[in-house]
Amino acid sequence: MSKVKIFAPVEEKERPAIEAPITDAESFHAVVDSRRSVRVYAKDPIPPEVMDACLDAALKAPNSSNLQAWEIHHVVDAKKKAALVEACLSQPAAGTAPELVVFVGRPDLWRRNNRWMIEAFDKAGNVPDGAYQYYRKITPLVYDQGALGWRTPFKWILTRWRGMSRPYPREPIGKWGMRIWAHKSTALACAHFMLAMRAHGFDTCPMEGMDSARVKGILGLPRQAVVTMVISAGKRAEGGVYGPRLRFDRQHFVHRH
Ligand SMILES: Cc1cc2nc3c(=O)[nH]c(=O)nc-3n(C[C@H](O)[C@H](O)[C@H](O)COP(=O)(O)O)c2cc1C
């Protein structure tokens, strides 16, 4: 790795003061607690401005290196929608939904977005040198897997070798690693979208019970794109939630060290 430190501290004088606004925890938990996967929707439409606000909320999700390697495909064309329902195995969660949105990871677009980042810095001016260095030197090292992934074995060896003597970032390695990398951030965008919908009084169902190859075909996506989830949205019908929420005991999942 080059001499550039990945997470070098930024000088205090270079950090703008962005205050944490006061928020309402009770409302947040009401949204989280009332979000349920809805399998049957009522006919009520979602107003376009609500749809837009929730799509914008999705795009505010935290994401790796802020490279925003995602796309959101809101399917409105009736023919495409029918095909998408079929690709979602004709699940009622898709078939009864007024809106269908496909969340797609685009690991193949990291380089374009990296360029956009540098251009945005140029435009903004006054960007700390460390930030430039990150996008000029570090991201290419971390995300460039080489044509047809030729760098993969070298990265694998280098990572293990360097990691023996000091902490060293292990992922992403190879084309599959890049897919996981894109899925992670895109899944966070999905969560933002679903919670935003609930905050507006609407409901959602995330679906991976679908034929991703067909979904990609319907949307005209390239081979490298990954379908993270299809999310249906609308107003829940009576009985649209199939039962009370079930979670295993938190002791199995929350560990203190
Ligand atoms: C990645 C993912 C894929 C899912 N796929 C489906 C699906 O194909 N069909 C479906 O009805 N529900 C699907 N679900 C919803 C889960 O079944 C649901 O989240 C889980 O049972 C917990 O219920 P809750 O969302 O109401 O809390 C999926 C959820 C996630 C996160």
Instruction: Kindly report, residue by residue over 89-145, the tens digit of the pLDDT.
Output: 999 999 999 999 999 999 999 999 999 999 999 999 989 999 999 999 999 999 999
Q: Are residues 120 and 104 in the same domain?
A: no
pLDDT of residue 4: 55
Same domain, 152 and 44: no
CA of 224 to the centre of ligand 1 (A): 25
pLDDT band at 240 (very low <50, low <70, confident <90, very high): very high
**203 Cβ neighbours under 8 A, 6+ residues apart:** 35, 36, 38, 41, 197, 233, 234, 235, 236, 240
pTM: 0.95
The reply to whether 153 and 185 lie within a common domain is no
CA angle 18, 22, 28 (to 5 degrees): 120
Q: Is residue 256 part of a domain?
A: no
Looking at ligand 1, which residue's alpha carbon is closest to its atom 25?
37
Q: What is the CATH number of the domain that holds 86?
A: 3.40.109.10
Q: Say how many Å lie between the CA of residue 206 and the centre of ligand 1.
A: 5
Tell me how far apart the alpha carbons of residues 129 and 9 are, in angstroms, rounded to a whole number: 11
Asked whether 229 and 215 are in contact (CB, 8 A), the reply is no
pLDDT of residue 1 exceeding 50? no
Averaged pLDDT of the chain: 95
What is the whole-number distance in angstroms between the Cα of residue 37 and the centre of ligand 1?
A: 6
Is 42 found in the same domain as 105?
yes
Number of structural domains the chain divides into: 2
Distance CA 224, CA 226 (A): 6
pLDDT higher at 20 or 90: 90
Q: In terms of domains, do 91 and 139 share one?
A: no
Q: Which residues pair with 41 in a beta bridge?
A: 236
User: Is residue 130 in a domain?
Assistant: yes
Residue 18 lies in a domain: no
**One domain, residues 91 and 196:** yes
What is the CA(84)–ligand 1 centre distance, in A?
17
Residue that is written with structure tokens 């999905």 in the block: 190
Q: Which of 37, 41, 208 maximizes ligand 1 atoms within 8 Å of its Cβ, making it the mutation to test the pocket?
A: 37
Are 161 and 46 within one domain?
no
Same domain, 206 and 234: yes
Tell me the residue range of the domain where 157 lies: 111-165
Ligand 1 closest atom vs CA 228: 1
Report CA(47)–ligand 1 centroid distance (Å). 24
Q: Which residues contact 187 (CB under 8 A, 6 or more apart)?
A: 103, 228, 229
Residue 227, strand partner residues: 104
How many Å lie between the centroid of ligand 1 and the Cα of residue 190? 12
Of the residues 38, 207, 226, 242, which should be mutated to test ligand 1's pocket, given the most ligand atoms within 8 Å of the CB?
207
Ligand 1 atom nearest residue 209's Cα? 8
In a domain, 253, yes or no: no
> What residue ranges line ligand 1, CB within 6 angstroms?
36-37, 39, 91, 93, 205-209, 229, 245
pLDDT digits (tens, 9 = 90+) for 75-94: 999 999 999 999 999 999 99
Which amino acid residue places its CA nearest to atom 10 of ligand 1?
Answer: 207
**CA angle, corner 209, sides to 55 and 218, nearest 5?**
60
**Distance (Å) from CA 176 to ligand 1 centroid:** 24
Exposed / middle / buried, residue 224 (Cβ in 10 Å: 0-12, 13-18, 19+): middle
